[in-house]
A and B are shown apart, each in its own frame.
Chain A
Amino acid sequence: MAEQCARLWVQGNAVDLTLVGRSAGRIEPIASDLRVRSPQSEIHVVEAEFLQPATIQATVDSIAAVGPVDVVLIAHGSLPEQTDCQNDLVACHDALVVNGVSPVLFAEAFAQHMAQAGSGTLVLIGSVAGDRGRKSNYVYGSAKGLVTRYAQGLQHRFAGTGVKVVLVKPGPTDTPMTAHLKSGGAKLAPVADVAQQIVDAIGRGQAVAYVPGKWRVIMMVIRHLPAFVFNKLNI
């Protein structure tokens, strides 16, 4: 999703973009693609460790040291097998950290710099899965729930300042994360469309953006289903 957003940002624009990932080998090809799309843009690559507070702080500080950051998109995550999380606490722990704790720490580190600068847009990717826990993926969902509640607090903190906080909640989308679901025939939104909606929401500084938009209504219904109905659903 982040890669597709980056494609939209460089399209027809000269931008200064830093890609942060756990493996340079995986982000370099993305950087090359963006450079072909936009030779006039500056594309940097930063390899970093994503799970330790100290390394996250150092990574963010080094990026902020180069100059003020206009937009941060925090988009990492990994969809675990729910049953693995139930059977193995290590898997459960890892899923909570990479989907919940780590994005929050990144956001908090950037928030320090944006608070100082008095401006910037901080974007976190939550998920529709964070709106209500359900048996098929509540560990991932609870990590996304953490991101949701965190973003809410951050929005409260920065209300009335130049810092905007955007929480994106995607529905099932066709990305590498869901490739295994696709062969099973799952209905997934095209990632380019989802990215366009994310970029638009960021442009507007929208507080909460369901993408595609129909998920706002669907999740409103799901959230309000009484437990005696919800618990009978096999979802």
Chain B
Amino acid sequence: MKAISSWGRLNALPHQLIKLADPDQVTDVIRQQKPGVAFGNGRSYGDVCLNPDGVLWHTGGLDRLIQFDGQTGRLVCGAGVLLRDIQRVMVPQGWILPVTPGTQLITVGGAIANDVHGKNHHVLGSFGDHVRRIRLIRTDGQVIECSQQQQADWFAATVGGMGLTGVIVEADIQLRQITGPWLETETLPYENLDDFFKLADDSEAGWEHTVSWIDCLSDKGRGLFMRANPTDVGLPAEPKGRKLAMPLVPPVSLVNPLSLKPFNTLYYNLKKSKAGRSISHYEGFSYPLDNIMEWNRMYGPKGFFQYQSVVPREVGLAAVQATLGEIAKSGQGSFLAVLKTFGDRQPVGMMSFPQPGVTLALDFPNNGTKTLKLFERMDAIVREAGGRIYPAKDARMPRDLFEQGYPRLNDFLTFRDPGISSGLSRRLMGS
């Protein structure tokens, strides 16, 4: 048994970690060592990738690239390959993953199972939109090849299926052609939420990537809007990746009411003074935190939560306003706060998180009951707005909110593999 945490470091409970090293052995392992759940790179924040006191099938060994067609841009690879490794191999060859989240240190299996989204959702949807085929192995030994055309119901259940339909061993992904690694970026400060929504609307047609940092302690909702497009005018040299690391877990969270307010004000004013256009490397723009290894340690030994919700656009302004009000009242929060609009499109997965509307993602140091009480007030807003919470980030949402947010849940449950169970599935689906 080994103590394993997910990204939020809320706990480190014992797990039996079994490495899937060889694609040929996956069937035997998951047949014999179950119930378990797949564990990719543990970049989910809560318990979706955990199975306390039980088995985790670690997919890191399924990390081979299998085939690439330089004409069509189709890549076949193992489910344990890191998105970073695909990018670093493919970008020099003129191809890039169409959709990546805010870190590239996640596996292909994890990207599919949470149907992750990036800053270009309004243009390119989520990760599952670009998956052409999945090879899934069930704990009874059944092998299912599925796509949007073939066994389409299995495909829809597995994309965003939180690892509960089987173990993905291999996937076929459509890459996208690029002229280089550079992005033309623009940073625009906004003073309030009205301005944010105006900027978002104005940028949707002309900008591929849009995202914003929001000062969660400001009652009006000031922030910095960032947008970017691929460009072929580049800089001569690529930035050398300088790696920083959080060397230890500080005894208390470095993020606290004393540090947060001055930090946010400083950050806002600093970025505001430097606002405008520039050229950025895609790694720096898209994955700003990947160069600070183990930054999650800064929240101290009790770990932290992330709360990410999406609410429909019509009620977006009011809901975000109300949420910021609750946060400001509680004095909790973190400078890691992101506000972004999703495009008007339906995801391919039954349980995929993205839906048309606006999504707010906020980190909170774990202050026990005080934090959980705040979440209850935030839940009430999401519930009333008809929104949903992202399971990839969640460690505590109430079951009724999960059921309300994911209306296709009952349909999904029929695709579950009875030999698979996670902390999240027991918490929110009863088994």
CB distance from A63 to the nearest CB of B (A): 24
Task: Name, among A30, A36, A182, the residue most crowded by chain B CB atoms within 10 Å (CB to CB).
Answer: A36
Q: A36-B66, A36-B67, A39-B93 given as contacts; is B2 within 8 A of A183 (CB)?
A: yes
Contact between A179 and B19 (Cβ–Cβ < 8 Å)? yes
Residue from the set B23, B61, B64, B68 with the largest chain A CB neighbour count within 10 Å? B64
Q: Are A182 and B92 in contact (CB under 8 A)?
A: no
Given contacts A182-B19, A183-B16, A183-B18, A32 and B61 within 8 Å (CB-CB):
no
Q: Tell me if B70 counts as interface (CB < 8 A to partner A).
A: yes
Residue B1, interface by CB 8 Å: yes
Nearest chain-A residue to B55 (Cβ)?
A: A183
Selected from A12, A33, A174, the residue in CB contact (under 8 A) with B65 is: A33
**Interface residue? A134 (CB, 8 A):** no
Q: Number of B interface residues at 8 Å Cβ cutoff, please give it.
A: 21
Give the chain B neighbours of A29 by CB distance below 8 A.
23, 64, 66
- Within the complex, the shortest CB–CB distance from A35 to chain B, in Å, comes to 8
CB pair B65–A36 under 8 Å, yes or no, is yes
Q: Which residues of B contact A176 (CB under 8 A)?
A: 19, 21-22, 61
Contact A37 B89, CB 8 Å, known A32-B64, A183-B2, A185-B1: yes
- For B17, B23, B88, B89, the residue with the greatest tally of chain A CB atoms inside 10 Å of its CB is B89
Q: Verify A30–B64 contact, CB threshold 8 A.
A: yes
Q: Which residue of B lies closest to A175 (CB)?
A: B21
Residues of A within 8 A of B17 (CB): 182-183
Contact with A along B55-94 (1 / 0, CB 8 A): 0000001001111101000010000000000001100110
Given the complex, which residues of B lie within 8 Å of A30, measured CB to CB? Answer: 64
- CA distance in complex: A37, B61 (Å): 17
The residues of B that contact A36 with a CB separation of less than 8 Å are 65-68, 75, 89
Query: A39 to chain B: which residues have CB within 8 Å?
Result: 68, 70, 93
Residue of A nearest to B22 (CB): A176
Q: Which residues of B contact A183 (CB under 8 A)?
A: 2, 16-19
Closest Cβ–Cβ distance, residue B68 to chain A (whole Å): 4
How close is A176's CB to chain B, nearest CB, in angstroms?
A: 4
Please give, as numbers and ranges, the residues of chain B lying within 8 Å of A12 by CB-CB distance.
92
Interface size class of A (residues with CB under 8 A): 10 to 19
Contact: B21 with A32, CB < 8 Å? Answer: no
Inter-chain contacts of B61 with A (CB < 8 A)? 176, 179
B-chain residues with CB within 8 Å of residue A179 when the two chains form the complex:
18-19, 21, 61
Question: Closest residue to B82 on the A side, CB-wise?
Answer: A192
Q: How far is the CB of A15 from chain B (nearest CB, A)?
A: 15
Contact B19 A33 (CB under 8 A): no
Please, how many angstroms separate the alpha-carbon atoms of A221 and B43 in the complex? 38
Identify which of residues 1-37 in chain A touch chain B, using a CB-to-CB cut-off of 8 Å: 11-12, 29-30, 32-33, 36-37
By the criterion CB–CB under 8 Å, are A37 and B65 in contact? yes
Asked, given contacts A12-B92, A183-B17, whether A33 binds B64 with beta carbons under 8 Å apart, the answer is: yes
Q: Encode contact with B along A164-191: 1 for CB under 8 Å, 0 otherwise.
A: 0000000000101001001111000000
B299 to chain A, nearest CB (A): 24
Q: Which of A32, A182, A184 contacts B67 (CB 8 A)?
A: A32
Cα A33 to Cα B75 in complex, Å, equals: 11
CB distance from B173 to the nearest CB of A (A): 12
Within 8 A of A (CB), among B11-34: 16-19, 21-23
Q: Which residues of A contact B89 (CB under 8 A)?
A: 11, 36-37
What residues on A are CB-neighbors of B66 within 8 Å?
Answer: 29, 32-33, 36
Chain B residues within 8 Å of A184, by CB: 2
Contact mask for chain B residues 375-386; partner A; CB cutoff 8 A; 1 contact, 0 none: 000000000000
Chain A min CB distance to B21 (Å): 4
Of all chain B residues, which has the CB nearest A40?
B93
Q: Are B65 and A185 in contact (CB under 8 A)?
A: no
Q: Which residues of A contact B93 (CB under 8 A)?
A: 39
Chain A hits for B92, CB < 8 A: 12
CB within 8 Å of B: which A88-119 residues: none
Q: A25 → chain B, closest Cβ, in Å?
A: 9
B1 to chain A: which residues have CB within 8 Å?
A: 185
The closest CB in chain B to the CB of A34 belongs to B65
Q: Give Cα distance in the complex from A174 to B262, angstroms.
A: 43
A32 touches B65 (CB 8 A): yes
Q: How far is the CB of B71 from chain A (nearest CB, A)?
A: 12
Instruction: Return chain A residues, CB-CB under 8 Å to B21.
Output: 176, 179
Q: How far is the CB of A177 from chain B (nearest CB, A)?
A: 10
Question: In the bound complex, what is the Cα–Cα distance between A16 and B294 (angstroms)?
Answer: 37
A81 to B67, CA, bound (A): 37
Q: How far in angstroms is the closest Cβ of chain A from B334?
A: 29
Q: How far is the CA of A39 from the CA of B17 in the complex (A)?
A: 35
Across the interface, which residues of B come within 8 angstroms of A182, CB to CB?
A: 2, 17, 19
Distance from A231 Cβ to chain B, minimum over Cβ atoms (Å): 30
Minimal beta-carbon separation of B52 from chain A (angstroms): 15
CA A11 – CA B64 in complex, angstroms? 14
Give the docked Cα–Cα distance between A184 and B2 (Å).
Answer: 7
CB distance from B80 to the nearest CB of A (A): 12
Residues of B near A33 (CB, < 8 A) are 64-66
- Per the 8 Å Cβ criterion, residues 181-216 of A in contact with B are 182-185
* Nearest CB on B from A112, distance (A): 34
Q: A183–B89 Cα gap in the complex (Å)?
A: 31
For residue A174, which residues in chain B have a CB less than 8 angstroms away from its CB? 19
How many Å from the CB of B2 to the closest CB on chain A?
4
18 A-B pairs besides A39-B68, A182-B19, A183-B17 with CB distance below 8 A are A29-B64, A32-B66, A33-B65, A36-B65, A36-B66, A36-B68, A36-B75, A36-B89, A176-B19, A176-B21, A179-B18, A179-B19, A179-B21, A179-B61, A182-B17, A183-B2, A183-B16, A183-B19
A–B Cβ pairs within 8 angstroms, 8 of them: A12-B92, A29-B66, A36-B67, A37-B65, A176-B19, A176-B21, A179-B21, A183-B17
Nearest 7 CB-CB pairings of A with B: A36-B65, A185-B2, A33-B64, A176-B21, A36-B68, A179-B19, A33-B65
